[in-house]
Structure 1
Amino acid sequence: MSQTVSETLASFVHRLRFEEIPVEVVQKAKTCLIHGIGVGLAGYDTDFPRIAAEIAGVNGRGAHEATLLYNGSKCTVMEAAFANAVMLHSRVQEDTHNTAHLGTIVIPVVLALGESRGASGKEILTALIAGYEVGGALSRHYTSQSTPRGFRASSVYGILGASAAAAKLLHLTEEQTAHALGFAASFAFGTLEAFAAGTMEWRFENGLAAKNGILCALLAQRGAVATTLAFEGNAGFLHAFAGNHKDPLKCVQHLGKVYEILNVTFKLYPVCAFNQSPVINALEMKKEFDIQVEQIQSIVIEMNDYEANYPGMSSKGPFQNISQTLMSAPFCVSSSLMDGEMTLANLKRFEHETLNQLIGKTTIIPEKNMNPLCNKISVELKNGQKLVREMNITQDYYNLETERDIEIIRDLRKEMQISSEQLEQLIHELLSLENKPNLSALIPNTTAAG
């Protein structure tokens, strides 16, 4: 009898050895760590990490297991994973795999558990890669089916990665790992309505996925048993979230042969992944044509229909918070055309009269024949002139090399609460992580308020 999905995933996680992982995969994992922690620290001034850290501080009071990146205090592993995941997601400039932001969930898990258990750099990197591969295997095959049904990819697939990473660091047996993944399949959650409403639910979903991923592994460690058909069963994960549980083993057949972490991309700006290309295109138009706001008659944005119809993308306001503005293509494109830049501060101009007038002149057109991440922006001026710029790219455009990503993180240092020296030491520690006996030299340089 062939293995089930959870058993196949567990076999991969349990047998994964650092020495057998390709060099380029290890390097990509270190780049993910640099990017994830860096953009997280640069989200310090948003409300969300403060709220999460306050809750974690209360619930984890008295424990000294893991560090809260927000203020350097100690709490329990699960509370640290929750709060740190919220912080890594706070700026919304995290890594992306399809539509899942796996790094915001898996990285806090390996940091918290790794710190508390004194895990070596090799152990942490191996667990991190295991988490990305498990979450990525399911995300790759089923995001396009689960997202249109209203489910959020990050929390739905991220909890799978979190449980895999936790299982690896806790040294679970293969059978226990399968149970942990079974619990994760049952505990998976998250909907998209908050994006349309502009409310905060999604801000904390990734934190809960990280925390509950650890819980799944702890349950299995203590003898709790999950069904082996958690994914492909008639009432299992695949049927519930994707509406499709046919040929379930196709999503795991390339584990250890094709590494999904190599397909992880990085955002250049603090906006939704689907707004990255429109922002870049608008910034290039501003530079190329020297567009003046008072000259603009109308703006038309043509986008891939899947992206254009994602909740919140077509919103023209009124806006009350950055959760709304970072999702809105009319806001992001109009702001970019007006200022020639896109910053976190720019996303907070909810009542800017000129900007809102420009947003009102903007139209989004979903295009079925346009490839993902591509767009076409047409700006008609009051004198009748029409300016058009197309951006045709693939996901490789955002699959940045390590040095390029480090440049981005260094540019964000002024928005962090750590010194330039701390940031450079943090980068150094992460680049040589496989040689570290533990995280003792790394953690002090992540403390946002240190």
Structure 2
Amino acid sequence: MAEHTLARQLADFAADTSYESLPDEVTASVRKRVVDVLGLCVAAHRLPTSAAIVAQVREQGGRPQATVVGGGHTLVPAPLAALANGVLAHSLDYDDTHLPSVLHPSASVVPAALAAAETAGADGRATIRAIAVGLEVCVRLGMAGYDQESGNSTFFEHGQHATSICGALGGAVAAGLLLGLSSDGLVDVLGVAASMAGGIIEANRTGGTVKRLHCGLAAQSAVTAAQLVGRGFTGPPTVLEGRFGFFEAFLHGAYDPAAVTGGLGTEWAVPGIFFKPYPANHFTHTAADAAMALRAQGLDPARVERLVLGVPAPVIRTIGQPIERKRAPETGYQAQFSGPYLVAAGLLGGGGGLGLGLDDFTDALARDPARRELMAKVEVVADETATGIFPAQFPAVLTAHDTDGREWREEVLSNRGGPGRPLSDGELALKFRDNVSGRLSDAAVDLVMERGLRLGELDRIQDLLRPVAELNPVAGGHHD
């Protein structure tokens, strides 16, 4: 039985995949995601939680193995580097998303892989291969928990953060490859990491910054699991489908095994993972698009009397409930999970090169009287068309009634950043430059972009990470 378990099939896929066998679109996608994650890690240093995690990691001491972005040139143990960088990557809610599983694969897998690669002295090709495989494993485990009938993630229904749960296992496979584990070792690494996976998402609804920890804890668990297996720890071969295994524990046994193994090695999910154009919960993006479209058509925010935001029914609890809190976020972080705020930001803001940027999500703007006045006019309701499309996309239908009695309506049925509306290489470069503005020198910016986009040619991952180890001090307020 152990020969044909799901863990064995994933492990064999990982071990048998070479850099040379990866499709060009997969390697290109991985290179872009690495650059995107590094930009997010730099940008996150505006947050006090980022200072907290870097200080926490630096105080632990230990063997110098891997780089913390913005943590200085002194290396830290690999699991701690993965922890810090995973926290940084996910903290701005600007990291990529896979649909319809609704998880953020890169924020766990990339930090885990970079830390393991730096520790092992791996080159760029080995790192790309490991990240590609880790992302694929992460997504496939997430899709195993996607309920086709309800059109929603069972992880999500149970209050679980699939991102960190599946990310721990995907990251562990990536780290295991870079640390030289065989296929047998990768079976064990899945078995060990499954006992380290966790994360609950109540903070999406009612606040708290704990969600920022999730991808860091997943990445830390991933590297730790790989290291422990290298020292002799083992896991159950039936860790995924077993009676007391991963799918029973997290999904109560309701999972799709074909999502794990169907087309494995020939059909890649990696290139279709959505890049985020805006630093906010992905459910809110089309609300901002619709609001910006109405503004472009001439809607005057000062003359708005009522706004109705129609969204998929399952997302209301995240971006529209409790409505009193969503209409009055106290922090920029809370604003990132508020449908009413994204409508107001779309009607009033637009500071970023992609439409909305980091400067649209500050504590001051969350409490801005003009935005509060608009947010108070927003109802968040279920829209039948949007619900029918979800979660392949996160649509929104925004209807505005103005003081002249005119009705304005805008439908946005697909998200920017995915296969249907991809961000161009120029837009991704703009996002990266915006994220690192003022924190990296122009020379460092160019160096990271150039080395990241030719990652497969690098002999050492440390050459990519060295330019982001030290950041320029930037004056300014925090989002929290």
TM-score (norm 1): 0.94
Matched letter for residue 317 of structure 2: N
Alignment-derived partner of residue 296 in structure 2: 287
Displacement after TM superposition at 1:275 (Å): 1.0
- CA, structure 1 residues 247+161, in 2 after alignment: closer, same or farther (shift >3 Å)? closer
Provide the C-alpha distance between the structure 1 equivalents of 2:424 and 2:9, rounded to a whole number of angstroms: 31
Matched letter for residue 84 of structure 2: A
Q: Secondary structure at the match of 2:59?
A: helix
Matched letter for residue 402 of structure 1: D
Q: Name which of 101, 105, 119 aligns with 1:102.
A: 105
8 A contact 2:319–2:326 mirrored in 1: no
Provide the C-alpha distance between the structure 2 equivalents of 1:390 and 1:247, rounded to a whole number of angstroms: 33
Alignment-derived partner of residue 408 in structure 2: 387
Displacement after TM superposition at 1:86 (Å): 0.9
Alignment-derived partner of residue 310 in structure 2: 302
Provide the C-alpha distance between the structure 2 equivalents of 1:444 and 1:218, rounded to a whole number of angstroms: 24
Matched letter for residue 446 of structure 1: V
Q: Name which of 119, 122, 129 aligns with 2:122.
A: 119
Displacement after TM superposition at 1:242 (Å): 2.2
Is structure 2 residue 23 aligned with structure 1 residue 22? Answer: yes
Alignment-derived partner of residue 374 in structure 1: 395
8 A contact 1:115–1:439 mirrored in 2: yes
Instruction: Name the % identity.
Output: 24
Alignment-derived partner of residue 321 in structure 1: 331
8 A contact 1:66–1:77 mirrored in 2: yes
8 A contact 1:316–1:360 mirrored in 2: no
Alignment-derived partner of residue 130 in structure 1: 133
Q: Name which of 421, 429, 450 aligns with 2:443.
A: 421
- CA, structure 1 residues 62+156, in 2 after alignment: closer, same or farther (shift >3 Å)? closer
Matched letter for residue 292 of structure 1: D
Matched letter for residue 162 of structure 1: G
Relative to structure 2, which stretch is displaced further, 367-376 or 259-268?
367-376
Q: Secondary structure at the match of 1:94?
A: coil
- CA, structure 1 residues 381+312, in 2 after alignment: closer, same or farther (shift >3 Å)? closer
8 A contact 1:108–1:210 mirrored in 2: yes
5+ unaligned residues in a row in structure 2: which ranges? 147-152, 473-480
Matched letter for residue 306 of structure 1: P
- CA, structure 1 residues 444+246, in 2 after alignment: closer, same or farther (shift >3 Å)? closer
Is structure 2 residue 372 aligned with structure 1 residue 356? Answer: yes
Matched letter for residue 4 of structure 1: T
Provide the C-alpha distance between the structure 2 equivalents of 1:350 and 1:445, rounded to a whole number of angstroms: 33
Matched letter for residue 417 of structure 1: R
Q: Name which of 346, 362, 382 aligns with 1:336.
A: 346
Matched letter for residue 282 of structure 2: A
Provide the C-alpha distance between the structure 1 equivalents of 2:275 and 2:155, rounded to a whole number of angstroms: 22
- Per-residue CA deviation, residues 112-152 of structure 1 (Å, 9 max, x unaligned), is 12112211111111111111011011112314121111111
8 A contact 2:311–2:383 mirrored in 1: yes
8 A contact 2:144–2:255 mirrored in 1: no
- CA, structure 1 residues 62+135, in 2 after alignment: closer, same or farther (shift >3 Å)? closer
Q: Secondary structure at the match of 2:306?
A: strand
- CA, structure 1 residues 311+220, in 2 after alignment: closer, same or farther (shift >3 Å)? farther
Q: Secondary structure at the match of 1:44?
A: helix
Provide the C-alpha distance between the structure 2 equivalents of 1:245 and 1:411, rounded to a whole number of angstroms: 42
Provide the C-alpha distance between the structure 2 equivalents of 1:4 and 1:49, rounded to a whole number of angstroms: 40
Q: Counterparts of 1:186-225 in structure 2 under 5 Å? A: 186-225=195-234
Matched letter for residue 432 of structure 1: R
8 A contact 1:198–1:312 mirrored in 2: no
- CA, structure 1 residues 247+363, in 2 after alignment: closer, same or farther (shift >3 Å)? closer
Is structure 2 residue 465 aligned with structure 1 residue 443? Answer: yes
Provide the C-alpha distance between the structure 2 equivalents of 1:261 and 1:302, rounded to a whole number of angstroms: 30
Q: Secondary structure at the match of 2:44?
A: coil
Matched letter for residue 212 of structure 2: R
Alignment-derived partner of residue 55 in structure 1: 56
8 A contact 2:239–2:245 mirrored in 1: yes
Displacement after TM superposition at 1:404 (Å): 3.2
Provide the C-alpha distance between the structure 1 equivalents of 2:285 and 2:320, rounded to a whole number of angstroms: 15
Q: Counterparts of 1:28-39 in structure 2 under 5 Å? A: 28-39=29-40
- Per-residue CA deviation, residues 67-92 of structure 1 (Å, 9 max, x unaligned), is 11123232111111100111111221
8 A contact 1:113–1:166 mirrored in 2: yes
Could you say what the CA RMSD is over the residues aligned between the two structures, in angstroms?
1.9
- CA, structure 1 residues 340+167, in 2 after alignment: closer, same or farther (shift >3 Å)? closer
8 A contact 1:309–1:366 mirrored in 2: no
- CA, structure 1 residues 217+368, in 2 after alignment: closer, same or farther (shift >3 Å)? farther
For this pair of structures, how many residues does the alignment match?
447
Provide the C-alpha distance between the structure 1 equivalents of 2:98 and 2:421, rounded to a whole number of angstroms: 11
Q: Secondary structure at the match of 2:305?
A: strand
Displacement after TM superposition at 1:448 (Å): 4.6
Alignment-derived partner of residue 69 in structure 1: 69
5+ unaligned residues in a row in structure 1: which ranges? none
Q: Secondary structure at the match of 1:20?
A: coil
- Per-residue CA deviation, residues 216-242 of structure 1 (Å, 9 max, x unaligned), is 112211211211121111222112222
Relative to structure 2, which stretch is displaced further, 95-104 or 203-212?
95-104
Q: Secondary structure at the match of 1:191?
A: coil
